[in-house]
Structure 1
């Protein structure tokens, strides 16, 4: 190999030649993020040229070239082993400059064309100086040849070209005009490359693997595709056009990678991880010398599986209505974890081993397995292992559907039976487990079980989850609960224990109107509902503990009928999950926090006495000493004080950061409620502040105005005009800082997110605050510490603590340090104070500065 530093002009200018992107390469993938960084570098070099600096250049990266098999002495042709993203981007930038000046200076436009973009005297594909991979050729050719038509609009190539056209127009700003030829010169003579040229016989794929460490990282699918087509010198073109290109066009890159992984799993590999896909397949193909025909057979089989996989991604493509309904529900559940089992069923049906009715029955077992585990709060951390093992463990001596049911009923699969399902529906805080769309789907299926003659169109109905007994209960509700409370349980304890259970939850489109009104007011609204479950609630005389439990029992029987139970007698593990959950959440208690027996019991769906008995009888439970009475007192007669250790316990609590009031009670601001405990062990990506907000995020141009109007209308219903004006000013200030405001899709409660990052780019956004209208209780700003803990640079706890300190400088805001792992709130009404608005503006500017400096810290 030879390596030398060069410039883009020196690489591509002059004699007729061509740089070919091999068909096995990924398609053009640069997005506005990479384009924006390159444009900033180009402008910087243009400014240096303007200032007379001829020495400074910008290093763009490497380009790895190898002689093409079609190479000719009079027409050199090179394979671009690495660097195609850079070369394509620079070519599109020059095409945009050419078109920008074409009308005013046609001769200069022609010069740019002939020097960098085309081989004037060549025909066909040889006409282009750069020839992208087949999937990108039509768009790239249209932008190089021009003029454009509607059929070639869109796509990453088109978006990159449009980006540069837009930036060139911005560069004509009369206040600070930029010379377009300086920009051209910056691209062609100021961006340096290292050109690595391989000789014939060099292993260019190994070079490609080792040097691909810049730009967008190649996926496992990219690497495997490259490897396979490198090994198909004679059949590659045909296989690519016949199988690979249609497959690639029908699936996204991530979906294609998932399909490749599923193909391995269906073959019985129950251990391979997606991130090891390439290494595993490479090892497979190198165990012996595979022929081109064998590799073609593998790609053909992948193509066949792709058609089945699309049915999981797009249920409308499934012809059988019963199977389609199950696939659609599992899609709503976001049950990608079950794909190995679902693909196995579709493949067995395609081979004629099972009919559609039994396929649907088998899918009902998968749905039941997932739903029952969610309702019974079984952790999801082993689901990947369970479903990945299905293809290799399916019994061979029984029908497919029966075999799957038998497999999922086996030891340690934890498919809850009917008795456990009944118990959890009565006691477990359903609203605090699973994801919002899963909870909503459970309630939707239960509503459908009533068989209403005029069923609700759930696709168009804007239904949200409503607590009949409100989350924040007023005096009338507490008086009703006092009638049901026992001698050992206060109305407050009863409220905490029952409010999130399934028996107290329903679906409604009038959540904001129901709010926390007394039951009589809710009755009037629920009577007019189209949902049968709401009519039945409205038909009761009161809504207390007895009614909630009675409804829970009814819903449990409906759930048992909807979701089949596991087989009996397969062998089941002892159920100690609830106490494992208690140990888990106690171990997660942050420094400087405590909880009560009632809080822990409400979180578990248990009783306070049972919690006390367990902790007293179980030595070695982490932070068990931080479970106190509801008043924050060390309980008399527990295993600590019975040994005369009351003083020692208090000293230990003090060492753990617990403060005590003058009357000897733990500081109530450090107490973790049942809701707080639920957040401690919930994945931050799964947390949604309220089921009423569907967690959909909007970007500018997608109904943003109507959602913004709805947000402020809801805010104004119970906040003062001064608060509303302060929030409007907050949004304006945030946008001046370079942020943007995204609104949730909820109708009852429309949230607002103060966003940084690229609009609409998943995984890149970050936000410090989520704002909610009050729904009768005053608007709040939620500080999303839990979200920030997983986003750089705020994975650093010290930065989150500094954010907390700054917010607490505002008058009326006092967030305990123990909330640093959670999502605490403060009232938006504090922003009526001018000094508070100044402090918050300074805090948000600090936040933006820390985030922007994350890559240079």
Structure 2
């Protein structure tokens, strides 16, 4: 074998083809892996745009074995290892090509064609040899569609999802960076990703090479490597320094937080671009000049130990002695995440050194919290926030008090700190229930409740409060009748419901979710009146609960929010010509898998608008990708639909049909291919709670009532709402429990007690389990949870998910669109009663696949 470090361009140039062999798994990268790679690429792009000369980024290795020389003179290489990286870069180039081709920049067609010929294909060959990369058979149709710019490109499998991911981030980056963006991205992909090409010789056993590469032992952590290096340089003082400084630090923080400390130490020193995989290398370079000076090295370890004490206060705010600072640290800890760690450590550093007061640091952290919460309320993108906060300690003005410096730094227009007016508008219209994470949504409502200043504060740790909709997610007819009184002309009560239901004005905290259910408002009033929360008592005192009342409460909560969370310096009002919601619209349309459609109302619900302005925007704004995929609620092309410029054209119905959307004889799109607002939010990476969840997360088993009590509640709801089918459905569920070891049932705790068909008992939460179905007894649906399967082996393989969908679609009454292979499509609950044997056969196959792919004892992965 021989190895060399090369760029992507050098890897692929010439008449070559890279073939992924059969023993390799299908393409499996999803959003987390794609986002990490993209973040690294953006770092390289930003350095170029700032006039710098960025160092290359190490992508990893690609192990190749020579294949047969093809008739056309093409050298075929078998990709023994690294196919995920190689496929990802190829898909990034397909997205870049399509992004450039769709732009209106002069010469874009030529540039797109050059990218296609230079990186993606062997120009003068046909058939399989035309493609520079030939994936496994299961991935070839989807990959081929992306390379060929087919109407079917960007499907619902992992290949299509990666193509759509890159289309989305390229469009977002174009808006942010403007001119020069696409050129810098191409250079980063082509020349700045460093790849170690390892080439096997003919006759080498390539499968053994594959096995050896993928069965390595556990390596040393970055902090382990640094410790070994430092104490190698301390032959005289090493034992004392280890016992007095390093060991106590290691014991107090633990391995993971010790590595976090060593990284944060670099960040606050100004090494803001250091990745956690490079900690050892950068620290080694910093300490290398001190080799031979044990006193100086001891001072460095002493400084690290001092910062360890400060980090402990960030991790556990109860350790902070100053009350104001302790409260701010506790608020940020409750908010969650680690994004604030660099600036928090920098501020505690200033206090510890006597260069700032604790109250000043507390005020500065208040601005950090205000920035984060206001952006969440306004659905601002979290992209680039990590880089922003990592750069903050080194980029802030040093000659100003810390609080002023933090506020000025975050108030820059391009950093997007929402003003009071923007917060008020967002609270009225944006679907808060899909904003941020479950922990953050609950935190916002908790802080708003605390703003009422109750005489007897609530113990939130013991209360087990969850987010509750006052206007229910699935309203009974009495609710819709009331909303009919508030609807605009041409607006149905259901459409008004969808625009209001997830906004902050309609949400509260409650420990009585199952009691509140979708009861009429009068019954909810009785329950909320008994609540100890002031906000619930305020709702209970309202005579009715419609549009006017929800918007009035939204205005009240917005006023409290802007008082709690401060805004930018001088309340700089954005003078942008375009509302931020239109960027969300563009992102949603790019994220749609080919073969799907949505409605003006779904888009309006997602972005916090109204169907009419959505339609006007699409009709007048040129260059909106996928505008023809937005139809009326009836699934028809709107009579008022117009292409906004001569550059576009064609029959929208014909375009959709070519992408795989089926239509009936009257020109109505098939409902099974429609993406709801919830589907669109999921595709954008938002956390969309299941209707049956209590805390906004499908990953945790609800505490509280016993499984037996929840099972009884599910059966009760089933008999109330599906009396003719209830016994047969319960019998079907019993057959699931007897299907195989590990098959069992679990139940949600929310108003509509849902039922989960679970597999694997030896897990503390659903995070480690797998389940095919969630049943909803009131709404009457069986949800097939492909969205959660795709992150759980073996169904992270899109081929297996597609096969499971195919088996279910063979059951009469089930129609699941392949375009929803990464979502949660559903079919009627009555199918379980009418065709139990057919569904049972599909589930038996599902269980068999899980069993076949589980690691054997002593042979874990």
**How far does residue 306 in structure 1 lie from its aligned partner after superposition?**
1.2
- Work out whether residues 345 and 359 of structure 1, in 8 Å CA contact, stay in contact via their aligned partners in 2: yes
In structure 2, what is the equivalent of residue 711 of structure 1? 710
In structure 1, what is the equivalent of residue 336 of structure 2? 334
In structure 2, what is the equivalent of residue 610 of structure 1? 613
1:649-668 equivalent positions in 2, closer than 5 A: 649-668=652-671
**How far does residue 246 in structure 1 lie from its aligned partner after superposition?**
1.3
In structure 2, what is the equivalent of residue 217 of structure 1? 219
Q: Does 1:759 align with 2:758?
A: no
**How far does residue 268 in structure 1 lie from its aligned partner after superposition?**
1.2
- Work out whether residues 768 and 788 of structure 1, in 8 Å CA contact, stay in contact via their aligned partners in 2: yes
Change (3 A) 1:641 1:706: closer
In structure 1, what is the equivalent of residue 423 of structure 2? 421
1:613-762 equivalent positions in 2, closer than 5 A: 613-640=616-643, 648-682=651-685, 692-693=694-695, 695=697, 707-719=706-718, 720=726, 722-734=728-740, 736=741, 752=756, 754-756=758-760, 759=763
| 1:631 match: secondary structure | coil
- Work out whether residues 659 and 666 of structure 1, in 8 Å CA contact, stay in contact via their aligned partners in 2: yes
- Work out whether residues 689 and 696 of structure 2, in 8 Å CA contact, stay in contact via their aligned partners in 1: no
Change (3 A) 1:403 1:528: same
**How far does residue 319 in structure 1 lie from its aligned partner after superposition?**
2.4
Change (3 A) 1:644 1:339: closer
- Work out whether residues 340 and 389 of structure 2, in 8 Å CA contact, stay in contact via their aligned partners in 1: yes
1:498-542 CA distance string (max 9 Å, x none)? 111111111111111111111122122222221111111121221
- Work out whether residues 697 and 745 of structure 1, in 8 Å CA contact, stay in contact via their aligned partners in 2: no
Instruction: Measure, in 2, the Cα distance between the counterparts of 1:313 and 1:751.
Output: 37
Q: Does 1:842 align with 2:841?
A: no
| 1:416 match: secondary structure | coil
Instruction: Measure, in 2, the Cα distance between the counterparts of 1:696 and 1:627.
Output: 29
Higher deviation after alignment, 711-720 or 302-311: 711-720
| 1:754 match: secondary structure | strand
1:376-434 CA distance string (max 9 Å, x none)? 00011111011101110121222111211111111321110100000000010111121
Aligned partner of 2:582 among 548, 573, 579: 579
Change (3 A) 1:249 1:773: farther
- Work out whether residues 621 and 644 of structure 2, in 8 Å CA contact, stay in contact via their aligned partners in 1: no
- Work out whether residues 411 and 573 of structure 1, in 8 Å CA contact, stay in contact via their aligned partners in 2: no
In structure 2, what is the equivalent of residue 799 of structure 1? 800
**How far does residue 282 in structure 1 lie from its aligned partner after superposition?**
2.1
**How far does residue 706 in structure 1 lie from its aligned partner after superposition?**
6.4
Q: Does 1:520 align with 2:522?
A: yes
1:1-32 CA distance string (max 9 Å, x none)? xxxxxxxxxxxxxxxxxxxxxxxxxxxxxxxx
Higher deviation after alignment, 836-845 or 669-678: 836-845
Instruction: Measure, in 2, the Cα distance between the counterparts of 1:433 and 1:273.
Output: 28
1:267-278 equivalent positions in 2, closer than 5 A: 267-278=269-280
In structure 2, what is the equivalent of residue 818 of structure 1? 819
- Work out whether residues 697 and 743 of structure 1, in 8 Å CA contact, stay in contact via their aligned partners in 2: no
Instruction: Measure, in 2, the Cα distance between the counterparts of 1:224 and 1:807.
Output: 53
Change (3 A) 1:489 1:538: same
Change (3 A) 1:769 1:246: farther
- Work out whether residues 410 and 572 of structure 1, in 8 Å CA contact, stay in contact via their aligned partners in 2: no
The count of aligned residue pairs is 639
**How far does residue 745 in structure 1 lie from its aligned partner after superposition?**
7.8
1:122-177 CA distance string (max 9 Å, x none)? xxxxxxxxxxxxxxxxxxxxxxxxxxxxxxxxxxxxxxxxxxxxxxxxxxxxxxxx
Instruction: Measure, in 1, the Cα distance between the counterparts of 2:321 and 2:486.
Output: 52
Instruction: Measure, in 2, the Cα distance between the counterparts of 1:611 and 1:299.
Output: 59
**How far does residue 286 in structure 1 lie from its aligned partner after superposition?**
3.2
In structure 1, what is the equivalent of residue 790 of structure 2? 789
Aligned partner of 1:236 among 217, 235, 238: 238
Change (3 A) 1:261 1:213: farther
In structure 1, what is the equivalent of residue 563 of structure 2? 561
**How far does residue 759 in structure 1 lie from its aligned partner after superposition?**
3.4
Q: What are the ranges of 5 or more consecutive residues in structure 1 without an aligned counterpart?
A: 1-209
TM-score using structure 2 length: 0.69
| 1:507 match: secondary structure | strand
**How far does residue 472 in structure 1 lie from its aligned partner after superposition?**
1.2
In structure 2, what is the equivalent of residue 545 of structure 1? 547
Instruction: Measure, in 1, the Cα distance between the counterparts of 2:269 and 2:253.
Output: 21
| 1:529 match: secondary structure | coil
Instruction: Measure, in 2, the Cα distance between the counterparts of 1:856 and 1:430.
Output: 42
| 1:460 match: secondary structure | helix
Instruction: Measure, in 2, the Cα distance between the counterparts of 1:381 and 1:722.
Output: 48
- Work out whether residues 714 and 773 of structure 1, in 8 Å CA contact, stay in contact via their aligned partners in 2: no
Instruction: Measure, in 2, the Cα distance between the counterparts of 1:585 and 1:659.
Output: 21
Instruction: Measure, in 2, the Cα distance between the counterparts of 1:581 and 1:430.
Output: 14
**How far does residue 840 in structure 1 lie from its aligned partner after superposition?**
4.2
1:667-707 CA distance string (max 9 Å, x none)? 122111111111111167x86666514648679xxx99964
Change (3 A) 1:728 1:215: farther
- Work out whether residues 526 and 537 of structure 1, in 8 Å CA contact, stay in contact via their aligned partners in 2: yes
Instruction: Measure, in 2, the Cα distance between the counterparts of 1:339 and 1:645.
Output: 48
Change (3 A) 1:324 1:354: same
**How far does residue 217 in structure 1 lie from its aligned partner after superposition?**
2.9
Change (3 A) 1:277 1:731: farther
Aligned partner of 1:307 among 306, 309, 314: 309
1:75-124 CA distance string (max 9 Å, x none)? xxxxxxxxxxxxxxxxxxxxxxxxxxxxxxxxxxxxxxxxxxxxxxxxxx
| 1:248 match: secondary structure | helix
Instruction: Measure, in 2, the Cα distance between the counterparts of 1:424 and 1:540.
Output: 23
Q: Does 1:410 align with 2:412?
A: yes
Q: What are the ranges of 5 or more consecutive residues in structure 2 without an aligned counterpart?
A: 1-211, 719-725
In structure 1, what is the equivalent of residue 81 of structure 2? none
| 1:389 match: secondary structure | helix
Instruction: Measure, in 2, the Cα distance between the counterparts of 1:479 and 1:390.
Output: 53
Change (3 A) 1:755 1:410: farther
- Work out whether residues 747 and 755 of structure 2, in 8 Å CA contact, stay in contact via their aligned partners in 1: yes
1:245-291 CA distance string (max 9 Å, x none)? 11111123221111111010111111111121122222223356452
- Work out whether residues 711 and 752 of structure 1, in 8 Å CA contact, stay in contact via their aligned partners in 2: no
Instruction: Measure, in 1, the Cα distance between the counterparts of 2:514 and 2:525.
Output: 15
Instruction: Measure, in 1, the Cα distance between the counterparts of 2:229 and 2:748.
Output: 43
Instruction: Measure, in 1, the Cα distance between the counterparts of 2:384 and 2:269.
Output: 21
**How far does residue 824 in structure 1 lie from its aligned partner after superposition?**
2.6
**How far does residue 767 in structure 1 lie from its aligned partner after superposition?**
1.6
| Greater RCO (CA < 8 Å, at least 6 residues apart) | 2
| 1:639 match: secondary structure | coil
Instruction: Measure, in 1, the Cα distance between the counterparts of 2:309 and 2:713.
Output: 46
Instruction: Measure, in 1, the Cα distance between the counterparts of 2:402 and 2:215.
Output: 45
Instruction: Measure, in 1, the Cα distance between the counterparts of 2:215 and 2:294.
Output: 29
- Work out whether residues 222 and 277 of structure 2, in 8 Å CA contact, stay in contact via their aligned partners in 1: yes
| 1:465 match: secondary structure | strand
Instruction: Measure, in 2, the Cα distance between the counterparts of 1:500 and 1:381.
Output: 23
| 2:467 match: secondary structure | strand
Change (3 A) 1:639 1:299: same
- Work out whether residues 695 and 744 of structure 1, in 8 Å CA contact, stay in contact via their aligned partners in 2: no
Instruction: Measure, in 2, the Cα distance between the counterparts of 1:291 and 1:753.
Output: 63
In structure 2, what is the equivalent of residue 398 of structure 1? 400
1:363-378 equivalent positions in 2, closer than 5 A: 363-378=365-380
**How far does residue 660 in structure 1 lie from its aligned partner after superposition?**
0.8
Change (3 A) 1:788 1:838: closer
Instruction: Measure, in 2, the Cα distance between the counterparts of 1:667 and 1:687.
Output: 26
Instruction: Measure, in 2, the Cα distance between the counterparts of 1:234 and 1:644.
Output: 75
**How far does residue 593 in structure 1 lie from its aligned partner after superposition?**
0.8
Change (3 A) 1:791 1:844: closer
